[in-house]
Amino acid sequence: MPQSKSSIHSFRQIFFLYIGFIIVFACLYLLPVSKTGDLSVIDSLFLSTSALSVTGLSTIDIGAELTRVGQSILMVEMQLGGIGVVVLISYLFLMMDKRITVSSMLLLSKDQNQYKLSSITSLALSVLIIASIVETICFIILFGEIRPRYDNYGDAVFVTAFHSVASFTNSGFDLFGDSLVSFKHNNLFLITTAITIFLGSLGYPTMMEYILSFRKRKTLFTRINIRMHLLLLFAGTVLYLLFESTNVLRELNLWDKLTNAFFFSATSRNGGLTTLDVSSLSITTVLCLMFLMFIGGASSSTGGGIRLTTAAVLLAKIGSVAKSRKEVVIMRKTITQDTIDKSFMIFFTFITLFFISTILLTIWQPQDLEPIMFEVLSALTNTGLSFGITNELAIPSKTILILLMIIGRIGIFSFIYTIFKVEKAKARYLKEDLAVG
């Protein structure tokens, strides 16, 4: 886990770059031209963080309290967040020479001293191109569905564009006022949006692999991601049908039940748009939803959570212990101890942050445990779903959620390395086994 000095240095650079962007955009929302009424500094910081980390939680009603200019800035920030994060994370992988993922995606030359800068540029470009293509297709399909809702042609164009960007970047913001509740019966709309969200959370490395080498055998990273994605998408749909058919899906016909359950499963990791009122879901469903949010999307994607490969490694580790095997094997590949170690660390820090933040929020929030826990997890996993308590949060609670959104997006390690000093290697101590558990 401990990194070289240079990669820790780049972790820090990225962290400060990220914070810089948040502050700049927060200032833009505070301009008179962006807002329709009053906007406090903490709310603009919250909005800016939520957009750059493509979370989608908001303490204000962005449809009513931002002008079209403000909403346009938001759209730019989401797009930047969605692309920027992928580029940043890929850059980190390059710095750490994790060539498996990144070079196979970019088909880069193996000359390590030369490729770093040029690869970042070409990566950023290719990511931007993919994003534009997917968003344009989404726009074309959905414009006809959104057009009838607006008298003004320009409004319809803007709202459709906003929705396309929000879907592909998994940012989960909406201008409809009640997320996608009014599209509950529009299957074309839901399935198009679900696929757009899915492509975003698939991750660019995987998409690039499919585009550039469709017939070739995929990397382990891509095969795990695809399998986990489809498995969880299916599991989510089944669970939601099972637990909600007689509850919030009660009044829908069979076909609508299916599309809405499927859509909700796709948006759980971590799209954030919803046709269902989260606070009306049964406790069982909320817990299943939280489980999906926690696992999240692929690494180097716009999805959040501990990420699919992390979950796969943890599962494989459990399997190997149960079978009393020394090696952890996924699809006939042995996973390195370093990767296993890192996966456990991610799991541990996620749980710890989730728990400590929930405790802190309960101090300032009068709500029940369930909505508070949910809100914290939604911020940490960059999901953006909510019981609707976001605008009731106290300032310390908002501050904590801002931190969680940042940590959830750029990774716990960049955060840790920024805060703590890096020590020189110490003298080795005697090794000792210790009775645990």
Among 114, 118, 132, 284, binds its own copies (CB under 8 A): 284
Minimal distance, residue 19 CB to K ion, in Å: 20
Pick what 115 binds: K ion, its own copies, none; C-beta below 5 to 8 Å, kind-dependent. none
CA distance 164 to 170: 10
Choose the stretch contacting its own copies; rule: CB under 8 A; options: 29-37, 76-84, 259-267, 419-427. 419-427
One residue of 104, 275, 320, 382 binding its own copies per CB under 8 A: 320
Residue 240 touches its own copies, criterion: CB under 8 A: no
Structure tokens at 218: 């995929």
Interacting residue with its own copies among 370, 394, 396, 399 (CB under 8 A):
370
16 sits in which H/E element: helix 5-30
Position among 27, 76, 317, 399 found at the interface with its own copies (CB under 8 A)? 317
Between 153 and 420, CB nearer to its own copies: 420
Q: Strand, coil or helix: what is 253?
A: coil
For residue 14, give the nearest of 77, 74, 83, 87 by alpha carbon.
87
State the number of CA atoms in the 13 A half-sphere of 152 facing the CB.
4
Contact flag: residue 93 with its own copies (CB under 8 A) = yes
Q: Pull the structure tokens for residue 122.
A: 């070409």
Query: Per rule CB under 8 A, is residue 221 in the interface with its own copies?
Result: yes
Residues 5-24 close enough to bind its own copies by CB under 8 A: 8
Q: Does 109 bind its own copies (CB under 8 A)?
A: no
Which CB, 258 or 287, lies closer to its own copies? 287
Size of the site for its own copies (CB under 8 A): 90
Q: How far is the CB of 301 from its own copies (least distance, A)?
A: 11
Of 26 and 286, the one with the shorter C-beta distance to its own copies is 286
Q: Is 324 in the site for its own copies (CB under 8 A)?
A: yes
Residue type, 107: L
Alpha-carbon distance of 109 to 371, in angstroms, equals 50
CB 167 within 8 A of CB 139: no
Tell which one of 362, 394, 396, 399 touches its own copies (CB under 8 A).
362
Per CB under 8 A, 432 contacts its own copies: yes
Q: Please state the closest distance from residue 169 (CB atom) to its own copies, in A.
A: 20
Q: Could you say whether residue 231 binds its own copies (CB under 8 A)?
A: no
List the end-to-end C-alpha distance of the chain, in Å, as a whole number.
24
Q: Pick one of K ion, its own copies, none as the site partner of residue 272 (Cβ within 5 to 8 A by kind).
A: K ion
C-beta of residue 378 within 8 angstroms of C-beta of residue 267: no
**Which does residue 22 touch among its own copies, K ion, none (CB within 5 to 8 A, set by kind)?**
none
**Cβ contact 296:408 at 8 Å:** no
Q: Binding segment for its own copies among 68-76, 95-103, 210-218, 247-255 (CB under 8 A)?
A: 95-103
In whole angstroms, what is the distance from residue 55 CA to residue 78 CA? 9
DSSP-assigned letters across all residues of 41-56:
HHHHHHHHHHHHTT--
228: Cα within 13 Å, side-chain hemisphere:
30
Half-sphere exposure (Cβ direction) of 367: Cα atoms closer than 13 Å: 24
288 makes contact, choosing from K ion, its own copies, none, with CB < 5 to 8 Å by partner type, with: its own copies
Decide whether 58 or 320 has the Cβ nearer to K ion. 58
**Residue 281, contacted partner among its own copies, K ion, none, CB below 5-8 A by kind:** none
Which of its own copies, K ion, none does residue 1 bind to, with CB < 5 to 8 Å depending on kind? its own copies
Q: Are 273 and 174 spatial neighbours (Cβ–Cβ below 8 Å)?
A: yes
If 0-12 CB within 10 Å is exposed, 13-18 middle and 19+ buried, where does residue 403 land? middle
